[in-house]
């Protein structure tokens, strides 16, 4: 691995780690920023990045990381008070793979492949005069602004200095590569030593702010360290906020969200009655989740665990997932032991049993009924300390509950998970792409919407929903890789990130084998604010557009094809809901 690849790899690692830690604990990050420990401009940048449920957090973190790299790169270039030709060339080489992290900003996009000296000089000149949050003028010589503050946040949240240690290596490597491009002078060595010392001082300050390493327990065994990225103990209020936020960010599942919101309202009033010293009725909070595979049952169960803990119905947000194999033994007496072990782990939290109807298998040598009997007894004995959620296919779950009066009496809350609609499936696929730095071309979006329409039309009780989308996504990546590997064209960063229409898995839909020509297609869209109805051409799909009536900016939906504009699709059945016409991902006002 050469120095450019090494730097890119380290940048990718630190950006991803910082994003994962901060995005998982936004409230905690805001508390640290509000405390005044970090720069005010970092707080403002954080608030900008986390608007619209954190939609800009990842690109802002990426750009902020590059901003700090540029700062050290610039200072390294100017050690001898001029920009040396060789040093500028080296700067272009090492930033060739990484510059795209910054060039998501439109005014810098022209430099995305800046590798020659002239472009690099022009880029640094523009960046140095840029007074924006992520421009060079705002730094004023500060070493850890703005990305450094994000890194420090990640260290404080995760109770680990590791993010800053990686960050430190990146800055030192950048400086070293530039300083050595034209030989090292005494000034170069002095600059590098000062940089290293300042970073060490910051690292020491971070270490002094972190919790002390726990002493060994009295048994002599060391206590387990908290996992990086996870707080030692989440508080109920924070768990509640996290759970509600995660619920609202789920794609689709409108009826499920309504059910959980209704439960939340009930628990909120119950909590207020308790606070006023008023009596509250005892409630059974065991649930039956019914739905086809891939409809989000496990995800919502985890969210529900946080909500119940947040309202202090449960003492912990503990979530234990179990199945028949974990609860049923192979001989007399073993099942009760296994079932009790699982229930003990879930006590004071949520026990989630997927495909629960498999516990009720018929047969002379089957011990599933023993597991059911054990579960029913514990649900009664631990009714204030245990919530049980059973899940599975609708018909099988109905038979399972009806097969035992004890089950019917204990499970009083039912939540039905409908199949994802075409618009939901499209957005799930898009989310998978964006999460892994892939972009769909307009033609790919349009053809994918047609494929998923056909798959949705042909669905049966085994329809995979999000799992089907995951399978389609993985096939797409395989097709994409095969296309690039066998192409005579040079592989660029853009081609590595771009999903073309030919990459899609047409084989998952009946009668499809190749992309449709959608060059003259029109797509129906409504403004989510004023409901102005219009049409968009292929180039608009998935892009930010602006309503001509009210000025609202939103992302153009790409699943509402006007089939009459594609002659080869005449008679093709389209599945859409009125709400699917609305734009999505509404942008903040400029």
**92 or 205: whose pLDDT is higher?**
205
Average pLDDT over residues 124-153: 67
- Counting Cβ atoms within 10 Å, is residue 561 exposed (0-12), middle (13-18) or buried (19+)? buried
98 DSSP 8-state letter: T
Q: Which of 188-197, 253-262, 452-461 has the highest mean pLDDT?
A: 253-262
Q: What is the CATH number of domain 236-417?
A: 3.40.50.300
Nearest to 106 by CA among 65, 173, 59, 153: 59
Average pLDDT over residues 422-432: 94
226 pLDDT band (50/70/90 cuts)?
A: very low
CA-to-CA distance for 330 and 247, rounded, in angstroms?
39
**42 or 199: whose pLDDT is higher?**
199
Please, are residues 311 and 481 in contact by the beta-carbon 8 Å criterion? no
Predicted confidence (pLDDT) at residue 232 exceeds the cutoff of 50: no
Asked whether the CA dihedral 397, 399, 400, 401 is positive or negative, the reply is positive
Helices 57-77 and 117-128: angle between axes, nearest 10 degrees: 110
Residue 277: partners with Cβ closer than 8 Å, 6 or more residues away = none
Give the count of beta carbons closer than 10 Å to the beta carbon of residue 555: 21
Q: What angle do CA 73, 79, 80 make, to 5 degrees?
A: 130
**247 or 158: whose pLDDT is higher?**
247
Predicted confidence (pLDDT) at residue 140 exceeds the cutoff of 60: no
287 pLDDT band (50/70/90 cuts)?
A: very high
Average pLDDT over residues 566-590: 75
Measured over all CA atoms, what is the biggest interatomic distance in the chain, rounded to whole angstroms? 88
287: left (phi over 0), alpha (psi -120 to 50) or beta: beta
The predicted structure's pLDDT at residue 197: 84
Nearest to 150 by CA among 53, 74, 58: 58
Predicted confidence (pLDDT) at residue 225 exceeds the cutoff of 70: no
Please, are residues 342 and 327 in contact by the beta-carbon 8 Å criterion? yes
Average pLDDT over residues 173-179: 76
**132 or 102: whose pLDDT is higher?**
132
CA-to-CA distance for 104 and 539, rounded, in angstroms?
19
Q: Which of 46-55, 57-66, 423-432 has the highest mean pLDDT?
A: 423-432
The predicted structure's pLDDT at residue 414: 94
Q: Which of 69-78, 179-188, 465-474 has the highest mean pLDDT?
A: 465-474
Whole-angstrom CA distances from 194 to 76, 128, 177, 189, 302 are 12, 22, 16, 9, 49
Domain with CATH 3.40.50.300 in the chain: 236-417
Q: What is the CATH number of domain 426-581?
A: 1.10.8.60
Torsion angle, alpha carbons of 532, 533, 537, 543, to 10: 40
DSSP strand pairing (533-537 vs 522-526): antiparallel
SS3 439: strand
Domain with CATH 1.10.8.60 in the chain: 426-581
**246 or 72: whose pLDDT is higher?**
246
Residue 405: partners with Cβ closer than 8 Å, 6 or more residues away = none
Report pLDDT digits (tens) over 55-110.
677 878 877 887 777 777 777 666 554 555 666 666 666 666 566 656 555 666 66
Average pLDDT over residues 269-274: 90
Nearest to 385 by CA among 318, 297, 432, 292: 318
Predicted confidence (pLDDT) at residue 509 exceeds the cutoff of 60: yes
The predicted structure's pLDDT at residue 482: 94
């Amino acid at each position: 691995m050469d120095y450019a690849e090494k730097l890119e790899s380290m940048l990718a690692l630190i950006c991803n780690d910082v994003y994962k830690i901060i995005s998982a604990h936004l409230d905690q990050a805001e508390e640290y920023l509000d405390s005044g420990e970090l720069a005010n401009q970092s707080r403002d940048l954080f608030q900008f990045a986390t608007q619209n449920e954190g939609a800009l957090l990842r690109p802002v973190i990426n750009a902020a990381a590059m901003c700090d790299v540029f700062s050290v790169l610039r200072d390294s270039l100017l050690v001898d008070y001029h920009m040396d030709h060789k040093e500028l060339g080296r700067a272009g080489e090492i930033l060739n793979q990484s510059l795209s992290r910054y060039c998501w900003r439109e005014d810098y996009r022209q430099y995305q492949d800046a590798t020659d000296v002239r472009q690099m000089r022009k880029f640094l000149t523009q960046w140095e005069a840029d007074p924006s949050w992520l421009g060079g003028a705002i730094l004023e010589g500060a070493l850890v602004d703005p990305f450094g503050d994000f890194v420090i946040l990640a260290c404080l949240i995760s109770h680990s200095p590791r993010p800053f240690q990686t960050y430190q290596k990146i800055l030192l490597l950048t400086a070293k590569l530039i300083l050595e491009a034209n030989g090292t002078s005494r000034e170069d060595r002095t600059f590098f030593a000062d940089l290293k010392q300042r970073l060490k001082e910051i690292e020491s300050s971070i270490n002094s702010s972190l919790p002390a390493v726990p002493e060994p327990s009295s048994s002599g065994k060391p206590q387990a360290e908290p996992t990086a990225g996870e707080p030692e103990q989440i508080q109920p209020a924070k768990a509640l906020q996290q759970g509600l936020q995660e619920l609202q960010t789920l794609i689709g599942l409108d009826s499920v969200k309504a059910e959980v919101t209704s439960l939340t309202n009930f628990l909120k009033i119950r909590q207020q009655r308790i606070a006023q010293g008023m009596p509250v009725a005892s409630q059974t909070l065991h649930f039956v989740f019914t739905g086809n595979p891939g409809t989000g049952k496990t995800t919502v169960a985890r969210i529900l665990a946080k909500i119940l803990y947040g309202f202090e119905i449960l003492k912990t947000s503990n979530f234990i997932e179990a199945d028949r194999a974990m609860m049923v033994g192979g001989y007399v007496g073993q099942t009760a032991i296994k079932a009790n072990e699982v229930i003990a782990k879930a006590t004071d939290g949520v026990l989630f049993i997927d495909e629960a109807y498999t516990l009720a298998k018929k047969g002379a040598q089957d011990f599933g009924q023993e597991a059911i009997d054990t579960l029913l007894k514990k649900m009664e004995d631990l009714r204030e300390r245990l919530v049980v959620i059973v899940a599975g296919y609708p018909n099988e779950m109905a038979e399972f509950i009806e097969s035992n009066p004890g089950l019917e009496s204990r499970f009083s809350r039912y939540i039905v998970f409908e199949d994802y609609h075409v618009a939901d499936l499209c957005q799930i696929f898009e989310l998978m792409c964006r999460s892994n730095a892939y972009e769909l071309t307009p033609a790919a979006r349009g053809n994918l919407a047609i494929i998923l329409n056909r798959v949705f039309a042909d669905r049966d009780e085994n329809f995979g929903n999000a799992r089907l989308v995951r399978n389609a996504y993985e096939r797409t990546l395989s097709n994409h890789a095969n296309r690039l590997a066998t192409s005579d064209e040079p592989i660029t960063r853009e081609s590595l990130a771009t999903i073309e229409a030919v990459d899609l898995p047409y084989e998952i839909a009946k009668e499809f084998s190749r992309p449709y020509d959608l060059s003259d297609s029109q797509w129906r869209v409504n403004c989510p604010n004023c409901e102005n109805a219009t049409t968009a051409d292929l180039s608009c799909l998935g892009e930010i557009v602006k309503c001509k009536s009210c000025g609202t900016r939103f992302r153009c939906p790409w699943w509402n094809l006007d089939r009459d504009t594609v002659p080869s699709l005449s008679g093709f059945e389209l599945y859409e809901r009125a709400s699917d016409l609305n734009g999505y991902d509404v942008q903040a006002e400029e």
